[in-house]
Copies of this chain bind each other. A is one copy, B any other.
Amino acid sequence: MEGVVALNIAIIGYGVVGGGVYALLRDGALGIYVRRVMDLLPIAGLEDGLFTDNIADIISDPAIDCVVEAVGGLHPALSHVTAALRAGKHVVTSNKELISHALAPLKEGAAMHRAQLRFSASVGGGVPWLHNLLRQKRGDTLLSVHGIVNGTTNYILDAMGNGMDLSAALKDAQRMGYSEADASADLDGLDTKRKCAISAALAFDAIVEADSVPTLGISAVRKIDIDTFAQHGLTCKLMMYAERGDASLCAYVEPSLLARDTLAAHTPAHYNCITLCGVQSGALSFFGQGAGRHPTAENIVQDLLDIATHATYKDPFLKPVPVDNDMERHPYYIRTSRKELLSGIDGEDWNGALLTKPMAVTALHALAKAIREKDPDAFFAGVPGYDELCHERSGKV
């Protein structure tokens, strides 16, 4: 590698991911040396002198070049990361809540102090998605990004497709360690929404508030829905979608009904499959484990190696861009016991549910909100209007 430098790091948070990063680096073979590990309580088996429970031991130590933030959640991660960047230390994190909430100010802080802020593992777990997104856009214009970015919900939908029910599938996902501590962040689409906001920010140089991304989750999906989809040759996946517009961008999260001949429909278990459409490249898809200790820790180590070798890409300047989903229209599956709420909406009967004619995403998400206030068990899924291979949008060969 040209310009290899030894990198001295501290790891904040010795949980699944932080512990995984330590395990990958402890022999020093990669030229990256762990000098401090911070957690609330002493860690058994750690080398002498590494442990601290005091952030000041890290921030004020000039020998530490880089901090791996593996605490998760917004606080105290935000203050730790802010302090590290102010001290001129690089930061690597997989924290999607932190990045989706504070990307723009953190990037400014990093630039001011000539530090790098990398967060590849915040979207896609072990998939090198954000790295490739940034690399591709150096020489191409990205038109859209879409895909499966939540391992827990994919695991659950895959298991339900094999006959399991929601609660059993969720228990399995938790037992395998894929699910977040609070499963509702996964099931309600909150995690996917954050990853959509981060992906759209980097793809389109935009400040995207996660809360401005309309989101439908899968907590109300039932066996009857999955069976109905199967009868129509469709597979249900929780997807994010974002597309460049003129003065706005399109961005939403919803369960999508995919034809069986698509790549995304064949994403099993806790895997993720994420696609960018470039004017020159057309569709490029990236597939791998979207959750789990080893892949996520590995993605963090790859960020560290990029910093150590100066092989990082230009950070985009972000400007606020509003989300507007009025232009995107496609059919929706709506299952509700309160049929009177669907009066005036045209469509086809699917085992007692309604498959609508194409509707604007904005209108459907507003309708879904109204229906769910009266029927929390209602379930909604879109039939994607986009072309998985980007044929309509990118340059023809």
Which A residues have a C-beta under 8 Å from some C-beta of B?
1-4, 24, 30, 126-128, 131-132, 135-136, 138-140, 176-178, 261-263, 265-271, 273, 275, 278, 280-289, 291-295, 297-299, 301-302, 305, 309-314, 389, 395-397
Name A295's closest neighbour in chain B (CB-CB).
B281
The one of B4, B128, B265 that contacts A135, using a Cβ cutoff of 8 Å: B128
Contact A176 B1 (CB under 8 A): no
Residues in B whose Cβ lies below 8 Å from that of A282: 126, 288-289, 294-295
Residues in B whose Cβ lies below 8 Å from that of A396: 294
Q: How many copies does the complex hold?
A: 2
Contact A263 B287 (CB under 8 A): yes
Q: Which of A261, A282, A305 has the most CB of B within 10 A?
A: A282
Contact A136 B128 (CB under 8 A): yes
Name A264's closest neighbour in chain B (CB-CB).
B266
Contact B298 A280 (CB under 8 A): yes
Contact A293 B397 (CB under 8 A): yes
Q: Which of A176, A293, A295, A313 has the most CB of B within 10 A?
A: A295
Contact A283 B293 (CB under 8 A): no
Name A177's closest neighbour in chain B (CB-CB).
B397
Give the distance in Å from the alpha carbon of A290 to the alpha carbon of B79 in the complex.
Answer: 45
Residues in B whose Cβ lies below 8 Å from that of A302: 135-136, 138-139
The one of B136, B294, B309 that contacts A280, using a Cβ cutoff of 8 Å: B294
Contact B288 A285 (CB under 8 A): yes
Residues in B whose Cβ lies below 8 Å from that of A314: 1, 4
Contact A281 B132 (CB under 8 A): no
Residues in B whose Cβ lies below 8 Å from that of A278: 298
Q: Which of A261, A289, A299 has the most CB of B within 10 A?
A: A289
CB distance from A186 to the nearest CB of B (A): 16
CB distance from A20 to the nearest CB of B (A): 9
Residues in B whose Cβ lies below 8 Å from that of A289: 281-283, 397
Residues in B whose Cβ lies below 8 Å from that of A140: 298
Contact A24 B397 (CB under 8 A): no
Contact B297 A280 (CB under 8 A): yes
Give the distance in Å from the alpha carbon of A302 to the alpha carbon of B135 in the complex.
Answer: 8
Name A279's closest neighbour in chain B (CB-CB).
B294
Top-3 shortest CB links A-B: A292-B397, A285-B287, A280-B298
CB distance from A229 to the nearest CB of B (A): 16
Contact A266 B263 (CB under 8 A): yes
CB distance from A237 to the nearest CB of B (A): 14
Contact A288 B295 (CB under 8 A): no
Give the distance in Å from the alpha carbon of A268 to the alpha carbon of B138 in the complex.
Answer: 27
The one of B132, B267, B281 that contacts A126, using a Cβ cutoff of 8 Å: B281
Give the distance in Å from the alpha carbon of A294 to the alpha carbon of B390 in the complex.
Answer: 14
Using A24-B139, A138-B302 as known contacts, say yes or no to A284 and B127 having CB atoms under 8 A apart. Answer: yes
